[in-house]
Amino acid sequence: MKVDCMGIIEAGYTSAATEKEWMATVLEPFEPLARGMGATAGIIDFGEARPKVGDWVSRGPVPTQLSTGFPRMYAFLAQEHADALRALLCPIPSVVCWGTERARLLPAAVIPDIIGFLKGSGMKDSLGILSAEPSGPSLLVVVPYAEDVPVPPRTLRQLTRATAHLCSALRLRRRASAAATAADALPPDVEAVLDPSGKVHHAQGGAEGKGARASLTEIVKRVEHARGRLRHTDPDEALAIWQALFDGRWSVVERTESDGRRLLLARRNPPGVLDPKALTQGERDALACAARGHSNKYIGFLLGVATSTVSSRLESALRKLGLTSRREAIEMLSGGVPSA
């Protein structure tokens, strides 16, 4: 089973006009995973005291019982069983999970309601791909199956990498929407504009310094390399090269001008969570990701820093919070960290 994870990443960074159009675009490269029942996706916001289910879209021959049943089911859980919903979608140890395996985490009293929402759909199992933001909106993609379909471990690892980009892409969309810039203007979070060769045409803010400009040039070259032949010859390496966040602050996305010229934008895009204990930004980000159940290795990929850096930031955060273990931090932050 093969899936174009680089295609998923590129779809995530497209500038679709609406959230529903964006999700429909994101679903397209998931089609190789489907087995005749299409794929469906929705937004779930865990940043509130009670989770909130947003837009929902389907692509392909998704049974009506699923295209309408999934959003109704998740809205029911968010309203009536918020803790059960968090348990169901908490991505431990991975952000990719099997539906029937996760369903065991639901209270027995909830199961009849869930069966009722999905009754008659023909779904026997499903692959859930959760791009879980430390706080705020997360994207859930569900690929339903009429039978048991084993997914190779390599495919699961690749999908896990791709979800980090979908987190970053959704965060960018929300921030751009809040800024409400003109369609032809650069988003306010753009700190550098480069061409595909890595030449810097514009830099401001954190990208102005000589060292930052040199770093961005190298980053763009790496991204272009990952998106070239390498995506076909060694997709694992391509996914490792194109990180969701570089230096803990930039997401690199493509923009095509009206004259067809391609540009690469370095957009400031840290998770941006708050906390009252005077933690540094890096410590807040690492702690928020840990509270979502992510491993240090995945947090490093998500934030664009070394695994050792994640470990040191978490240790420092725990000291400042007066905690002795990662589990204590997760318990303290259960329910999410308020978003900036």
pLDDT at residue 285, rounded to an integer: 85
One domain, residues 94 and 57 = yes
DSSP state of 134: S
Tokens of 175: 């921030």
Rounded distance, CA 174 to CA 107, Å? 33
Q: Look at residue 339 and tell me if it is in a domain.
A: no
pLDDT at residue 106, rounded to an integer: 85
Q: Which of 226, 244, 268 is the last residue of a domain?
A: 268
Who's near 243: CB < 8 A, 6+ residues apart? 164, 301, 304
Strand partners, 140: 42, 130
pLDDT per position as a tens digit, 95-153: 677 777 778 888 888 999 999 999 999 999 999 998 876 666 889 999 999 998 888 88
**What CATH number should be reported for the domain holding residue 293?**
1.10.10.10
Q: Look at residue 247 and tell me if it is in a domain.
A: yes
One domain, residues 38 and 94 = yes
Which of 263, 225, 298, 301 is closest to 6 using CA atoms? 225
Who's near 321: CB < 8 A, 6+ residues apart? 277, 279, 329, 332
pLDDT at residue 92, rounded to an integer: 54
Q: Which helix (H) or strand (E) holds 191?
A: strand 190-194
Q: Which of 108, 139, 170 is the last residue of a domain?
A: 170
Q: Tokens 């140890």 correspond to what residue?
A: 93
The pTM score is 0.79
As for how many domains the chain has, the answer is 3
Which of 174, 109, 162 is closest to 135 using CA atoms? 174
pLDDT at residue 318, rounded to an integer: 81
Rounded distance, CA 203 to CA 243, Å? 21
Q: Look at residue 181 and tell me if it is in a domain.
A: no
One domain, residues 255 and 297 = no
Rounded distance, CA 247 to CA 219, Å? 10
Q: Look at residue 180 and tell me if it is in a domain.
A: no
Q: Look at residue 337 and tell me if it is in a domain.
A: no
**What CATH number should be reported for the domain holding residue 11?**
3.30.450.80
Domain with 247, as residue range(s), is 190-268
What residues in the chain have per-residue pLDDT under 70?
A: 47-49, 91-95, 133-136, 178-184, 272-278, 330-340
Q: Look at residue 177 and tell me if it is in a domain.
A: no
